[in-house]
């Protein structure tokens, strides 16, 4: 069971705020490193294991560097993510390129970097050969169709998802790639998102290990790695159970020993591609209460908005909120906590019991370390916030400055209006 406690105190927050005004996303280096070590330990039984952090979750070079120091690679899906990976010093087999609907330049860039290329479709075999070339190792993404069930209910609907290939297409892709010179293969699948159960990876690995044995027997292809992709969730809500990565790693090992080892495939490397599990709990959005409003409901308006954290508006997601300095005060007020977008879904919390909030209070919105800042946008002319790292030694470091109006208007720099903006 998870107790929701911020990783900063009011005093620590005030110190940072005197340097970087709110709103900003704050990341906890100590927590990130400790979690990465738990992940690597959980899969340490597999000698080729590697976590490829999903860059889209938190595309910040300072955070990618921390993960690199902990032995992680990166999973990229676009040209700019590949550029970022390259700038952080990731090369070759430290990069997975899991894209779909892939543009020519993106495929060429991934090939030039020597990344593991994960093909989303059978037609991409010829596409890859035509625009780039045929690598010695190629991964193919699998979609089993139907529904994905963990025994206690449907988790997701692969049959409705645009990703991946059928088993027959996987076999055909391998056969055609072998004829063109590919020597070794990977298998990849992402079948459910934000799973809060230790069963997801083990069940998925059972499916993929059996598929690997069938594909090997059918085509003769040598399977080099199996990438379990992302989807391991975190406990966003208080009292929710948290995934136990050690139990998850042991569950995957059991399937490995039951299925792959007897098939003579005990040398297969296990990869993961987690975003949320790696960073979500180790980031938070720090924001200041600007206004209170009393109409038919009680509102607290803060200086952050959905442009800084889209998940509540987009998915109705729960993000826990702590009012700094009032951690132990009774939650005897019911508030909607809102941003300033001209959209009524711009609410970080609806009907949330919280302590009495006063103007100027600093609120911590929890678990924004993944799919937080990165989903930001500029609607209503709102600017993206800064990102700050709380370093292991307790100091803080600006790792992305806040946007300015000059950033917002930069794409008009060719036009006569740009001058008149007086930037
Ligand atoms: C988004 C994504 C991930 C990471 O997903 P999480 O839910 O953050 O673990 C991994 N792989 C691929 C291909 C993705 O699209």
For residues 66 and 213, give the distance between their C-alpha atoms in angstroms, rounded to a whole number.
36
For residues 264 and 345, state if they share a domain: no
Query: What CATH number is given to the structural domain containing 324?
Result: 2.40.37.10
Boundary residue ending a domain (279, 305, 322): 279
Ligand 1, pocket-test mutation among 97, 188, 233, 273, most atoms within 8 A of CB: 273
User: Dmax of the chain from CA atoms?
Assistant: 72
Statement: residue 169 has pLDDT above 90: yes
In Å, how far are 29, 215, 278 from 67, measured between CA atoms? Answer: 10, 33, 9
For residues 290 and 371, state if they share a domain: yes
The H or E element containing residue 354 is strand 347-354
Q: Evaluate: CB of 370 within 6 angstroms of ligand 1.
A: yes
Taking the whole predicted model, whether its pTM rises above 0.75 is answered as yes
For residues 269 and 289, state if they share a domain: no
For residues 252 and 355, state if they share a domain: no
Ligand 1, pocket-test mutation among 95, 116, 274, most atoms within 8 A of CB: 274
pLDDT for 153: 72
Q: Which of 104-108, 147-151, 176-180 has the lowest average pLDDT?
A: 147-151
In a domain, 417, yes or no: no
For residues 172 and 288, state if they share a domain: no
In a domain, 419, yes or no: no
For residues 199 and 202, give the distance between their C-alpha atoms in angstroms, rounded to a whole number.
5
Tell me the sheet residues that pair with 186.
Answer: 139, 225
Q: Evaluate: CB of 276 within 6 angstroms of ligand 1.
A: yes
Cα 50 to ligand 1 centre (Å): 15
Boundary residue ending a domain (279, 303, 319): 279
Boundary residue ending a domain (264, 279, 294): 279
Q: Using alpha carbons, select from 256, 230, 233 the residue that is nearest to residue 244.
A: 233
* Burial profile 199-210: b = 16 or more Cβ within 10 angstroms, e = fewer: bbbbbbbbbbbe
Q: Using alpha carbons, select from 333, 237, 194 the residue that is nearest to residue 4.
A: 237
For residues 250 and 198, give the distance between their C-alpha atoms in angstroms, rounded to a whole number.
10
Ligand 1, pocket-test mutation among 36, 51, 56, most atoms within 8 A of CB: 56
In a domain, 102, yes or no: yes
Instruction: Report the chain's mean pLDDT, rounded to a whole number.
Output: 97
For residues 236 and 129, state if they share a domain: yes
For residues 258 and 399, state if they share a domain: no
Residue 412 tokens read as: 């008009």
Residue 155 tokens read as: 């988790």
In a domain, 43, yes or no: yes
For residues 221 and 209, state if they share a domain: yes
Cα 374 to ligand 1 centre (Å): 13
pLDDT digits (tens, 9 = 90+) for 15-39: 999 999 999 999 999 999 999 999 9
For residues 116 and 255, state if they share a domain: yes
For residues 96 and 53, give the distance between their C-alpha atoms in angstroms, rounded to a whole number.
9
Cα 384 to ligand 1 centre (Å): 23
Q: pLDDT category, 298, cuts 50, 70, 90?
A: very high
In a domain, 129, yes or no: yes
For residues 111 and 194, state if they share a domain: yes
For residues 73 and 335, give the distance between their C-alpha atoms in angstroms, rounded to a whole number.
42
Q: Coil, helix or strand for 64?
A: helix
Statement: residue 150 has pLDDT above 90: no
Number of structural domains (the chain) is: 2
For residues 156 and 271, state if they share a domain: yes
Statement: residue 71 has pLDDT above 90: yes
pLDDT digits (tens, 9 = 90+) for 215-244: 999 999 999 999 999 999 999 999 999 999
Q: Evaluate: CB of 230 within 6 angstroms of ligand 1.
A: yes
For residues 92 and 105, give the distance between their C-alpha atoms in angstroms, rounded to a whole number.
17
Query: What CATH number is given to the structural domain containing 100?
Result: 3.20.20.10
Q: What domain range is 119 assigned to?
A: 29-279
Q: Evaluate: CB of 275 within 6 angstroms of ligand 1.
A: yes
Q: Decide: 99 and 79 in contact? Cβ < 8 Å.
A: no
In a domain, 182, yes or no: yes
In a domain, 13, yes or no: no
For residues 419 and 423, give the distance between their C-alpha atoms in angstroms, rounded to a whole number.
7
Residues 192, 82, 164: CA angle, nearest 5 degrees: 35
What percent of the chain shows pLDDT beyond 70?
99
Q: Evaluate: CB of 231 within 6 angstroms of ligand 1.
A: yes
pLDDT for 8: 97
Q: Evaluate: CB of 164 within 6 angstroms of ligand 1.
A: no
In a domain, 11, yes or no: no
Angle, helix 79-87 to helix 104-113, in steps of 10 degrees:
20
């Amino acid at each position: 069971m998870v107790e929701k406690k911020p990783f900063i105190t009011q005093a620590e927050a005030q110190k940072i705020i005197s340097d970087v005004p709110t709103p900003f996303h704050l990341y906890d280096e100590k927590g990130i490193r400790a979690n990465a070590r738990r992940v690597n330990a959980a899969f340490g039984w597999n000698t080729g294991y590697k976590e490829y952090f999903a860059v889209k979750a938190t595309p910040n070079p300072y955070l990618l560097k921390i993960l690199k120091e902990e032995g992680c690679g990166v999973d990229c899906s676009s040209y700019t993510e590949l550029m970022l990976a390259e700038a952080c010093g990731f090369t070759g087999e430290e990069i997975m390129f899991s894209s779909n609907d892939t543009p020519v330049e993106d495929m060429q860039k991934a090939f030039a970097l020597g990344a593991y290329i994960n093909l989303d479709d059978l037609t991409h075999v010829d596409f890859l050969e035509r625009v780039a070339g045929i690598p010695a190792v190629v991964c193919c993404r699998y979609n089993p169709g139907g529904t994905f069930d963990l025994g206690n209910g449907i988790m997701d609907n692969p049959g409705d998802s645009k990703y991946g290939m059928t088993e027959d297409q996987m076999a055909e892709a391998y056969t055609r790639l072998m004829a063109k010179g590919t020597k070794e293969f990977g298998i990849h699948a992402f079948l459910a998102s934000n799973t809060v159960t230790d069963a997801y990876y083990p069940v998925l690995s059972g499916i993929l290990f059996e598929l690997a044995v069938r594909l090997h027997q059918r085509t003769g292809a040598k399977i080099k790695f199996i990438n379990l992709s992302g989807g391991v969730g975190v406990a966003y809500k208080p009292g929710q159970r948290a995934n136990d990565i050690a139990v998850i790693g042991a569950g995957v090992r059991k399937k490995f020993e039951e299925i792959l080892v007897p098939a003579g495939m005990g040398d297969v490397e296990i990869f993961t591609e987690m975003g949320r599990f790696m960073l979500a709990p180790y980031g938070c959005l720090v924001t200041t209460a600007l206004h209170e409003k009393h109409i038919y409901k009680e509102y607290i308006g803060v200086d952050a908005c959905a442009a800084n954290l889209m998940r509540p508006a987009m998915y109705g997601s729960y993000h826990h909120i702590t009012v700094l300095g009032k951690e132990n005060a009774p939650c005897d007020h019911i508030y909607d906590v809102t941003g300033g977008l001209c959209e009524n879904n711009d609410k970080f919390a609806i009907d949330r019991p919280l302590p009495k909030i006063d103007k100027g209070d600093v609120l911590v919105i929890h678990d924004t370390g993944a799919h937080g800042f990165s989903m930001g946008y500029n609607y209503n002319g709102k600017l993206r916030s800064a990102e700050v790292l709380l370093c292991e030694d307790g100091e803080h470091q600006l790792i992305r400055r806040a946007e300015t109006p000059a950033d917002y208007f930069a794409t008009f720099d060719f036009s006569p209006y740009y001058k008149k903006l007086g930037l």
